[in-house]
């Protein structure tokens, strides 16, 4: 076995070497392509440069190119493809929609894998309105599920993230992403998986492996070991169906927006919100973003006004904050229930958040604001009001499971060409040449922890000359997920190099400080072994038992492993 410099390194990525046999360095063999075509048809197997380049598009520092792409239509074809991979000794990299922006996009962890694109498997198999669950395939998007429910079952909502309507529901949940509603801790709403294993067997979790089970989609744990979790953030199998609980639409809903004016006020805000989450007053995920999140949602970096810099000068940042009428921090959450419950919860929120600027959004208030914006549309104030209403409606929609592309605008912050003229339709930050990485540590929901974390990362980002974008999200009653966005100009080689150094320092520093990420991108997976005695040994043993020939996604959540091609010892 020889070492060689990988394609990640050639594209200025963070990983420098991977262990791969020389035979994997070129194009996929014709006999493999022929075998795949026999399974899915010639129209669903790709090895041309244009297609492989499109799948390799990334917002990150590296571009990892696959050997080929195969697109199955159903579970039977997935099983057949897995058997072909085992017979011909090549690795598969499953993706749902390939829009894992900021964490690796559609790129495999290492070069020379064959992408298994599950996007054609986009069936909403079942929606049960009485028990409020759905059974879906991995190609089902947030927008597709939301539209289906609005049309056929308007009394049911599906939680969504801020990544837009075109991303996969299953893909995000398998990386343990979170959303906005009372069902925003999304993996907790999963009930039963269908998984294709590396040897071609189909596994049904929960009670689903018993013929005629009446509770496959209603009781998640089954009997015996609960194993659903091992198929999230792993490379142990290919999930082809998922049971998902849906949220019954409440009689009333109100979204609140809270503003903390000063930088250090974030501590008091977190400490005021935590008891409301713990006692059930707040059931939604509460997101608290810094000022740059809102500034970037209104435009791109002012390159002409700030020559040669990769971050906003303090004076300009303060000016933009004042012009937008925002503080240093903005929090958003939602209240659900009948009218009396929402009114009572709103009173509790008002009492807890005394001293902060607080607004409530209801459907009625949004309708009145929209009417006012239309009436005053010819005036500057009316245009500003329309922009505010558009943002408010998007926030309101997210908290009732309606995805929007509006908040993808922040991905374009350092794009020199600005916002594409057709935005937000058909936007894809990876294909549009946006450059950013996400880092997502977790921390206790304590104000003092937020201050310590914020001070740590702010110093690192400032030292490397970048803007510090962060959102603290109350994923559950006791924890925050801190989603940091590192935006950079990929066309500036020196800036891209600084971004790589900044990201590496942030990653190592937050882990050393005890703020372990809730998910990581492909460029960081080899670093996960830090201070983790025993755990990764157990996962390696599971991998060996379930996929001894390393067929499925070598390197994915497999830190420090000497990556071997299938069949190699």
Q: 372: pLDDT confidence band, cut at 50, 70 and 90?
A: confident
pLDDT tens sequence across 506-519? 999 999 999 999 99
The answer to whether 385 touches 376, Cβ cutoff 8 Å, is yes
pLDDT tens sequence across 71-115? 999 999 999 999 999 999 999 999 999 999 999 999 999 888 999
- Mean of pLDDT values over 220-228: 97
Q: Across the chain, what does the average pLDDT equal? A: 91
- CA count, 13 A, side-chain hemisphere, 291: 22
Query: What is the reported pLDDT for 50?
Result: 96
- Mean of pLDDT values over 21-48: 82
pLDDT tens sequence across 334-349? 999 999 999 999 999 9
* 3-state secondary structure (DSSP) of residue 6: coil
Q: 387: pLDDT confidence band, cut at 50, 70 and 90?
A: confident
Query: What is the reported pLDDT for 561?
Result: 55
End-to-end Cα, the chain, rounded Å: 10
- Residue scoring higher pLDDT (496 or 11): 496
CA-CA distance, 565 to 229, in Å (whole number)? 26
Query: What is the reported pLDDT for 560?
Result: 64
CA-CA distance, 74 to 83, in Å (whole number)? 15
pLDDT tens sequence across 243-260? 999 999 999 999 999 999
pLDDT at residue 386 above 80?
no
pLDDT at residue 499 above 60?
yes
- Mean of pLDDT values over 356-384: 84
Query: What is the reported pLDDT for 20?
Result: 34
- Mean of pLDDT values over 220-238: 97
pLDDT tens sequence across 459-471? 999 999 999 999 9
* 3-state secondary structure (DSSP) of residue 441: strand
- Burial class, 316, CB count within 10 angstroms (exposed 0-12 / middle 13-18 / buried 19+): middle
Query: What is the reported pLDDT for 19?
Result: 29
Question: Per mean pLDDT, which range of 82-86, 236-240, 538-542, 556-560 is the poorest?
Answer: 556-560
The answer to whether 89 touches 566, Cβ cutoff 8 Å, is yes
- Mean of pLDDT values over 159-185: 97
**Which is nearest to 175 in space by CA: 220, 219, 222, 235?**
235
CA-CA distance, 442 to 453, in Å (whole number)? 10
Residue where the block lists tokens 């749902």: 96
Strands 469-474 and 479-487 turn out to be antiparallel
Query: What is the reported pLDDT for 530?
Result: 60
Q: 391: pLDDT confidence band, cut at 50, 70 and 90?
A: confident
Q: 27: pLDDT confidence band, cut at 50, 70 and 90?
A: low
pLDDT at residue 5 above 80?
no
Query: What is the reported pLDDT for 307?
Result: 85
Question: Per mean pLDDT, which range of 123-132, 192-201, 371-380 is the poorest?
Answer: 371-380
Question: Per mean pLDDT, which range of 281-285, 367-371, 383-387, 513-517 is the poorest?
Answer: 383-387
Q: What percent of the chain has pLDDT over 70?
A: 93
pLDDT tens sequence across 297-306? 888 999 999 9
Q: 375: pLDDT confidence band, cut at 50, 70 and 90?
A: confident
Walk me through the domains of the chain, giving residue ranges and CATH numbers.
3-118 (3.30.43.10), 124-248 (3.30.465.10), 252-412 (3.40.462.10), 436-520 (3.40.462.10)
Q: 380: pLDDT confidence band, cut at 50, 70 and 90?
A: confident
Tell me, what DSSP letter sits at residue 309?
A: -
CB atoms within 10 A of CB 394: 17
Q: Count H helices, E strands: the chain? A: 15, 21
Residues β-bridged to residue 367: none
Query: What is the reported pLDDT for 405?
Result: 94
DSSP string, 369-415: HHHHHHHTTTSHHHHHHHHHHHHHHHHHHHTTT---SGGGGGGGTT-
Query: What is the reported pLDDT for 22?
Result: 33
Q: Model pTM?
A: 0.91
CA-CA distance, 514 to 52, in Å (whole number)? 38
């Amino acid at each position: 076995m020889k070492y060689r410099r990988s394609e990640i390194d050639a594209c200025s990525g963070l990983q420098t070497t991977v262990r791969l046999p020389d035979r994997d360095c070129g194009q996929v063999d014709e006999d493999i392509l022929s075998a795949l075509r026999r399974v899915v048809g010639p129209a669903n197997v790709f090895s041309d440069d244009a297609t492989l380049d499109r799948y390799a598009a990334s917002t990150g520092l590296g571009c990892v190119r696959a050997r080929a792409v195969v697109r199955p239509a159903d579970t039977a074809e997935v099983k057949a493809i897995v058997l072909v991979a085992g017979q011909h000794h090549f690795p598969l990299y499953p993706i749902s929609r390939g829009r894992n922006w900021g964490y690796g996009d559609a790129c495999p962890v290492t070069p020379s894998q064959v992408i298994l694109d599950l996007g054609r498997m986009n069936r909403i198999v079942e929606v049960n309105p009485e028990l409020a669950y759905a059974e879906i395939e991995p190609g089902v998007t947030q927008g597709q599920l939301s539209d289906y429910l609005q049309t056929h079952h308007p009394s049911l909502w599906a939680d969504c993230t801020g990544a837009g309507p075109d991303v996969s529901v299953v893909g995000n949940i398998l990386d343990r992403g979170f959303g906005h509603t009372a069902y925003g801790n999304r993996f907790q709403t999963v009930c039963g998986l269908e998984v294709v294993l590396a040897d071609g067997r189909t596994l049904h979790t929960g009670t689903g492996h018993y013929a005629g089970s009446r509770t496959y989609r209603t009781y998640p744990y089954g009997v015996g070991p609960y194993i659903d979790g091992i198929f999230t953030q792993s490379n142990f199998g290919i999930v082809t169906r998922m049971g998902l609980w849906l949220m019954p639409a409440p009689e009333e809903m109100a979204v609140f927006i809270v503003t903390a004016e000063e930088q250090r006020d974030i501590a008091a805000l977190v400490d005021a919100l935590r008891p409301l989450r713990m006692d059930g007053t707040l059931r939604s995920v509460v997101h608290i973003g810094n000022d740059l999140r809102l500034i970037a949602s209104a435009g791109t970096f002012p390159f002409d006004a700030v020559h040669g810099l990769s971050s906003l000068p303090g004076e300009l940042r303060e000016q933009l904050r004042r012009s937008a009428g925002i503080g240093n921090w903005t929090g958003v959450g939602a209240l659900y229930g009948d009218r009396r419950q929402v009114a009572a919860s709103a009173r509790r929120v008002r009492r807890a958040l005394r001293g902060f600027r607080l607004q409530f959004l209801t459907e009625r208030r949004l309708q009145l604001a929209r009417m006012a914006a239309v009436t005053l549309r010819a005036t500057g104030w009316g245009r500003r009001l329309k922009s505010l209403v558009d943002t408010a409606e998007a926030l309101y929609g997210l908290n009732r499971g309606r995805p929007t592309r509006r908040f993808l605008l922040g991905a374009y912050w350092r794009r020199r060409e600005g916002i594409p003229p057709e935005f937000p339709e058909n936007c894809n930050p990876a294909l549009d040449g946006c450059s950013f990485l996400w880092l997502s540590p977790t921390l206790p929901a304590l104000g003092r922890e937020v201050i310590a974390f914020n001070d740590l990362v702010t110093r690192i980002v400032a030292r490397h000359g970048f803007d510090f974008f962060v959102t603290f999200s109350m994923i559950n009653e006791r924890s925050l997920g801190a989603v940091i966005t590192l935006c950079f100009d990929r066309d500036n080689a020196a800036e891209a190099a600084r971004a790589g150094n900044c990201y590496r320092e942030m990653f190592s520093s937050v882990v050393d400080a005890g703020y372990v990420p809730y998910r990581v991108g492909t460029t960081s997976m080899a670093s996960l072994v830090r201070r983790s005695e025993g755990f990764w040994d157990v996962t390696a043993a599971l991998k060996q038992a379930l996929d001894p020939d390393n067929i499925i996604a070598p390197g994915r959540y497999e830190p420090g492993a000497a990556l071997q091609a299938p069949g190699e010892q």
